[in-house]
Structure formats: C-alpha cells, structure tokens
Amino acid sequence: MNTLGERLRHLRGEQSQVEFGVAIGVNINTLRNYERDVRSPSADTLSEICIKTNTSPLWLLLGEGPMRLEGGSETLPAKTPNESRFDATTPSNDACGGTQEKIRELRRENTELRRECSELRTENQRLSRELSDANKDLINTSKELLQTTRENADLRVELTEIKSRAAPDTIPAEEPTRKSA
C-alpha cells in the first residue's frame, strides 16, 4: 500500500463507505476522494481517523510500523462522529511511538517548503516580468528592422529607376581606334 488512499481502503475493510464515513465523521464523497487520492485529509481529519479506528498515525500517513496501536482491535470503536477526540481514549505521544514529534517535524518541513514555494513564486513573477519586457523590446526591434528593410528595398528600387533613366544619356560613344603609324 503505497498511498494514503490505499491505506484508507484497507482500514475500511468490508465496511461500506457510508458506514465508515459516518464512523469517522466524514462525508461519503469526501471519503471517496480520499480513497482515490484525489484529495488529502486535513491533519484534524487524519487525527480523527487514527483515534476512532485505533490506527497508528505513522502507518496511516507513511505506511510505516504497525497498523494498529498496541491493544487495538480490528473493528471501529463504538463512537459517534460528534464525540470529542480529546477524551480519555486519545493515545498519548508515547503510545503513538513518537508520531506526534514526527507530525511536528513534518509541519515544520511543510512550513519551510511553503516559504520556499512563496519565494520561488515571487522569483518566477519577477523573471516573467523581465521576460515580458525583453519580448516587448525584441518585438520593437523586429518592427524597426522590418521598417529599415522596407526602406532599404524602396531605396534600391528608386536607385534602379534612377540608373535606368540615366543610362540612355550616358552611353559612351565608341572611341576611334588608333592606327599605328
């Protein structure tokens, strides 16, 4: 199981999507999108799923470690979607095998990646503006070159006409040949 969606389908087992969605407090269409890896659940939703199914967050997120927390069963606990997830059954960080620390680490990494992404977007926008300006300059230069080429062609035509008009008047007479004496 390589994806979160595949692990959610495995976790659901034989239960229908409707039953599983109600048990974990998620709309059926949302659950379908999660299982098809079209959308990813929020951190709160993932936490809710882990708590209500006694599933290891590390396994659900990354596919690592055991699927169930120690002492867990293969069936969903009898809880309603409106129950608080912060009750006596909420697993501690130790019970999760340090998963909370891993989540904090991933959140820090996520924050850093978002910052880098924002910087890259800003740089991309700057480069796009520069490229746009360079393209405008290139277009203007191309227009000037085209205009110069047209003017050059017009001048060549005019020069040819002038030469053709001047040619009949300037035909040199044949020079007499000299005979040697």
Do residues 11 and 53 touch, judged by C-beta distance below 8 A? yes
The tokens describing 74, both together, are 């293969």
Q: What is the pLDDT of residue 124?
A: 94
Cα separation, 158 vs 110, whole angstroms: 70
CA–CA gap between residue 96 and residue 58 (Å, rounded): 8
| pLDDT recorded at residue 125 | 94
pLDDT score recorded for residue 7: 92
The answer, as to whether pTM is greater than 0.75, is no
Q: Tell me the pLDDT of the chain (181 aa) as tens digits.
A: 789 999 999 999 999 999 999 988 889 999 999 999 999 998 888 888 888 888 988 889 888 888 888 765 444 444 444 444 444 444 555 555 577 888 888 989 999 999 999 999 999 999 999 999 999 999 999 999 999 999 999 999 999 999 888 876 555 555 555 555 5
* pLDDT value of position 47: 87
Report, at the CATH architecture level, how domain 4-97 is classified: Orthogonal Bundle (1.10)
What are the structural domain ranges in the chain?
Answer: 4-97
The amino acid at 169? D
Write phi, then psi, for 123 (nearest 5 degrees). -65, -40
- Nearest residue to 50 (alpha-carbon basis) of 21, 82, 20, 91: 91
